[in-house]
Amino acid sequence: MGGMEEPFLYRRIADQIRRDILEGRLKPGDRLASMRELTHQWECTQGTIQRAYQELAQQGLLVSRAGKGTQVAGNIDPLLMRAQGPLRRASLVHQAEAFLLEALTAGFGLGEIQEAFELGLDRWRTLQAAAHPAAERRIRFAGSHDSAVSWLANHWAELAPGTDFQVSFSGSLGGLMALADGRADLAGCHLWDAETNRYNLPFIRKLFPGNKMAAIRLADRRLGLMVAPGNPLGIQRVADLGRPGLRFVNRQSGSGTRVWLDAALQREGLSAGAIGGYAVEKATHSEVARAVAEGQADVGLGLESAAAALRLDFVFLVQETYDLVAPAASLEAAPLQTLVAWLAGAAAHQRLGELVGYETHQTGLIQWVEPQ
């Protein structure tokens, strides 16, 4: 449980519960989840949960009663309710400024700090679930890791105030399965089908044979080998991954990157066992890039944008298609309508086109997959 145990984790937990109360998802008298459930959800100790409860109790938001557990207080001061938003934001800004000052003092530039923060956000999204607003005010995304999706999650409040964009990076196949199971409203994928030499559409047809589906183009992306600055080992192609002693870092099974790699290895006549580090898996392109940057691996397969973020060299291999997938009927929901309209506009093409290795000439294009 030590993975998320950090000095200020209790504040994150308190902030989440406070937000649920202030936005009405937890109502006066509601009983909070058990201590056991919360320690599992947050991957922390009971002491961390108790410290969060104590902070909220001191603010008059929670009460604990023998035999009834911890509940939302029934007599919360209206002035406190109105003040919590500005106070919380002011506290957050103060903490952010303290971190910024520390990083600047250590010699990092503003661009480096922003990139590091965005990489950190990507990691947290893979470790915990987001808040759960009403279904009509949210988009639950599941699928392959992508810098543009991360940007959308960070700026969604500006594009669609009052709604939420929840992100779970679970790989392309994982995203489509979550969509099929009703655990997601939108899936992100870049699955290449060797038989048809097409991206995504063959997999959508197989997984959703009785449904009309929409594949909305997010962008075309440059995929390649991420290596140390200067490419000291002279790695240039997939066949080089079979060199003795070379340390590779992989993406997880079910990811679009892994699907492409396995097909490329088959073409080269290389088995997985011939690749040192094939079994070492990471959940995002950012984590692969970090493993190479920190010297844990010599090479990884990933996006040019992830390599650029950590100042790695990049050996281009293929341009791939990344689509956002949803049932046709779901596009009637207001948040998805907002997303589709934004992707079709000039602002999306300009903003996403600023990402390294992204091509947006077909961003917003919708391809329909009819029921079979």
List domains and CATH numbers for the chain.
Answer: 2-107 (1.10.10.10), 127-372 (3.40.190.290)
Residues in the chain: 372
Q: Which amino acid, residue 209? A: P
**Cα–Cα distance for residue pair 165/160, rounded to 1 Å:** 9
Type of residue at 80: L
pLDDT over 70 (residue 168): yes
Q: Report the distance separating Cα 195 and Cα 282, nearest Å.
A: 27
Give me the half-sphere count of Cα atoms (radius 13 Å) on the Cβ side of residue 157.
Answer: 1
pLDDT(23) > 80: no
Q: How confident is the model at residue 16 (pLDDT cuts 50, 70, 90)?
A: confident
Name the residue with higher pLDDT: 243 or 48: 243
Residue 344 is predicted with a pLDDT of 95
Average pLDDT of the chain to the nearest whole number: 85
The token duo for 321 is 């298609």
pLDDT band at 198 (very low <50, low <70, confident <90, very high): very high
Q: Higher pLDDT residue, 96 or 85? A: 96
Mean pLDDT of 329-356: 93
Is the pLDDT assigned to residue 117 strictly greater than 90?
no
DSSP 233-302: T---SGGGGGSTT--EEEEPTTSHHHHHHHHHHHHHT--GGGSTTTT-EESSHHHHHHHHHTTS-SEEEE
pLDDT at 91: 54
* Residues above pLDDT 90, as percent of the chain: 52
Whether residue 247 has pLDDT greater than 70: yes
Average pLDDT over residues 273-302: 94
More confident residue, 150 or 213: 213
Residue 45: predicted pLDDT: 86
Q: How far is CA 147 from CA 99, 183, 356, in A?
A: 23, 22, 9
Say how far apart CA 271 and CA 77 lie, in whole Å.
65
- Minimum mean pLDDT among 65-69, 75-79, 241-245, 327-331: which range? 75-79
Q: Report, as an integer, the average pLDDT of 74-85.
A: 56
Identity of residue 349 = H
Question: What pTM, to 2 d.p., does this model score?
Answer: 0.65
User: Average pLDDT of 243-270?
Assistant: 94
DSSP one-letter code for 328: G
* Residue 81: closest CA among 98, 63, 60: 60
Which pLDDT band, with edges at 50, 70 and 90, does 14 fall under? confident
Residue 98, pLDDT > 90, answer no
Model pLDDT, residue 123:
61
pLDDT of residue 88: 54
**Residue with more model confidence, 183 or 111:** 183
